[in-house]
């Protein structure tokens, strides 16, 4: 009898065969490369893949169980009926969400009991199987729901329930789960990005508190945050730089904390610099042991990299792109008639299908109580490349409509007659420029290749 991971893997193989037979019949020359890519990224599933009939043979039909289908329908109904209507409308029109919009959405998940997707049940987690997590991600993406702010639920929460004291668990976890407190991440510094071990922000113990001095940068949504978790240097008298780093929780309202905005290339305020000048932090806010922050931070990064793959969202965006290019524009032939463009779409779809196998293996590891392993670097590396590949496809599909810089038209009830382009084409360039960051944040893709070479391939 197949387990849940195997059933989902077989289902994906069915979908892969469908893409091969129905989308690539006009482009057989790319099939060998795509099949090889599938084997490379899904090595643990080769036995399943070998059962595929790429040319002739008995079709393989795999379905979810009745309980899994009922769960899928419940998730689908939730996103249809219980997401606040004004938030759903903003998502549909591409209007940026406010801080309170994100909080209301996440509280709706909490009220449903679905906030701690990967958390252990004893701390309020869902207890979902790998298949349920997979179905939830797919339905959430297909509903075009807001993304879950990851810094509390997906990052510091797992660090606290894994390494924190019992008092820290009682103090912080309930508010993180209910989205009562907005967290941000303090890792990168003006002189320490991918080489994070070179960080210099100091935290010197003075009695019952640390005195913190230094700066963090590229702090996403730090302008909204109530608390920040930071990697700080508590000692320099160590053999290895990583040994002198600690994991500290800091209230953003503490005197001496200053937030300065960084306006990104497309004009958005998403990231910030945060400066700490003689900030006093209670010693009880140290997570785990002093000097062990590097180990805790690596676990957090593995959770972050797993989430950053955004495979379900990429699949959704590809499906929307197919619908967009199937429509004629101002009487011209639809772009879907361009075989060269559709070849690129199909090739990207197959790469996304292949990457899903690695995501399923990682979800299975998390479900069994393990932290995501170094394979999360594969997810981050390939996932970010695919996000950017889809951005490029949208930009190509938008054509000249991608050129005007008109972010002001993405507000509620903007008159259609005044909109530039046929719909959301002008936003494709804003997204394209913003998501150049995807191959840099959470550890640049060059760093991920080093991790894969060392810890996955053993080189």
Most distant pair of Cα atoms in the chain: their distance: 74
Backbone phi and psi for residue 109, each to the nearest 5 degrees, phi listed first: -65, -45
The 10 Å Cβ neighbour count of residue 457 is 8
Classified as helix, coil or strand, 52 is coil
- Between strands 183-186 and 202-206, the pairing is unpaired
Classified as helix, coil or strand, 219 is coil
Nearest to 274 by CA among 343, 329, 201, 342: 201
Q: Which residue, chain included where needed, has tokens 């944040």?
A: 441
Tokens linked to 159: 């660090």
Nearest to 205 by CA among 145, 170, 248, 259: 248
Q: Which residue, chain included where needed, has tokens 């903003």?
A: 90
Backbone phi and psi for residue 174, each to the nearest 5 degrees, phi listed first: -60, -40
Tokens linked to 279: 């900030």
Classified as helix, coil or strand, 220 is coil
Please identify which of the residues 139, 270, 304, 425 carries the catalytic annotation. 304
Dihedral (Cα; 393, 397, 399, 401), 10-degree rounding: -110
Q: Of all helices (H) and strands (E), which one includes residue 355? A: helix 339-367
Tokens linked to 341: 């463009």
Nearest to 323 by CA among 423, 435, 403: 423
Residues with Cβ within 8 Å of 330's Cβ and at least 6 positions away in sequence, in order, are: 422
Q: Of all helices (H) and strands (E), which one includes residue 423? A: none
Q: Mark whether 304 is an active-site residue.
A: yes
* DSSP secondary structure string for all residues of 434-445: HGGGGGTTTS-H
Chain CA centroid to CA 167, Å:
30
Catalytic residue numbers, as ranges: 304
């Amino acid at each position: 009898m197949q387990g849940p991971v195997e059933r989902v893997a077989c289902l994906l193989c069915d979908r892969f065969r469908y893409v091969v037979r129905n989308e690539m019949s006009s482009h057989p020359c790319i099939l060998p490369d795509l099949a090889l890519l599938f084997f490379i990224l899904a090595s643990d599933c080769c036995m399943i893949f070998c059962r595929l009939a790429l040319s002739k043979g008995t079709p393989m039909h795999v379905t979810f169980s009745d309980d899994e289908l009922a769960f899928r329908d419940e998730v689908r109904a939730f996103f249809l009926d219980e997401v606040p209507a004004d938030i759903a409308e903003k998502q549909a029109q591409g209007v940026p969400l406010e801080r309170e919009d994100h909080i209301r959405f996440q509280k709706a998940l909490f009220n449903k009991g679905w906030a701690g997707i990967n958390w252990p049940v004893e701390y309020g987690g869902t207890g979902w199987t790998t298949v349920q997590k997979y179905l939830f991600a797919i339905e959430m993406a297909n509903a075009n729901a807001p993304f879950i702010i990851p810094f509390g639920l997906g990052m510091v929460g797992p660090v606290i329930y894994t390494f924190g004291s019992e008092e820290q668990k009682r103090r912080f976890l309930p508010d993180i789960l209910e989205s009562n407190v907005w967290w941000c991440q303090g890792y990168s510094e003006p002189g320490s990005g991918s080489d994070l071990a070179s960080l210099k922000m100091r935290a010197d113990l003075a009695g019952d508190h640390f005195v913190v001095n230094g700066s963090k940068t590229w702090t996403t949504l730090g302008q909204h945050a109530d608390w920040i978790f930071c990697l700080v240097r508590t000692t320099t008298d160590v053999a290895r730089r990583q040994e002198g780093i600690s994991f500290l929780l800091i209230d953003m309202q503490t005197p001496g904390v200053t937030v300065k905005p960084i306006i990104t290339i497309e004009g958005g305020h998403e990231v910030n610099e945060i400066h700490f000048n003689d900030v006093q932090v209670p010693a009880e806010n140290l997570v785990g042991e002093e000097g062990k922050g590097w180990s805790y931070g690596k676990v957090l990064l593995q959770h972050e990299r797993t989430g950053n793959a955004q495979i379900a969202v990429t699949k959704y965006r590809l499906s929307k792109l197919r619908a967009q290019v199937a429509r004629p524009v101002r009487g011209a032939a639809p772009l879907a008639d361009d075989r060269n463009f559709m070849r690129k779409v199909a090739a990207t779809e197959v790469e996304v299908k292949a990457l899903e196998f690695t995501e399923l293996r990682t979800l299975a590891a998390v479900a069994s109580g393990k932290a995501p392993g170094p394979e999360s670097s594969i997810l981050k590396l390939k996932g970010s490349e695919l996000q950017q590949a889809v951005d490029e496809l949208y930009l190509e599909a938008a054509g000249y409509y991608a050129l005007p810089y008109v972010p002001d038209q993405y507000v509620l009830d903007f008159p259609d007659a005044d909109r530039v382009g046929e719909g959301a084409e002008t936003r494709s360039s804003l997204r394209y420029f913003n998501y150049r960051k995807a191959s840099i944040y959470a550890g640049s893709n060059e760093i991920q290749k080093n991790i894969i070479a060392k810890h996955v391939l053993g080189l």
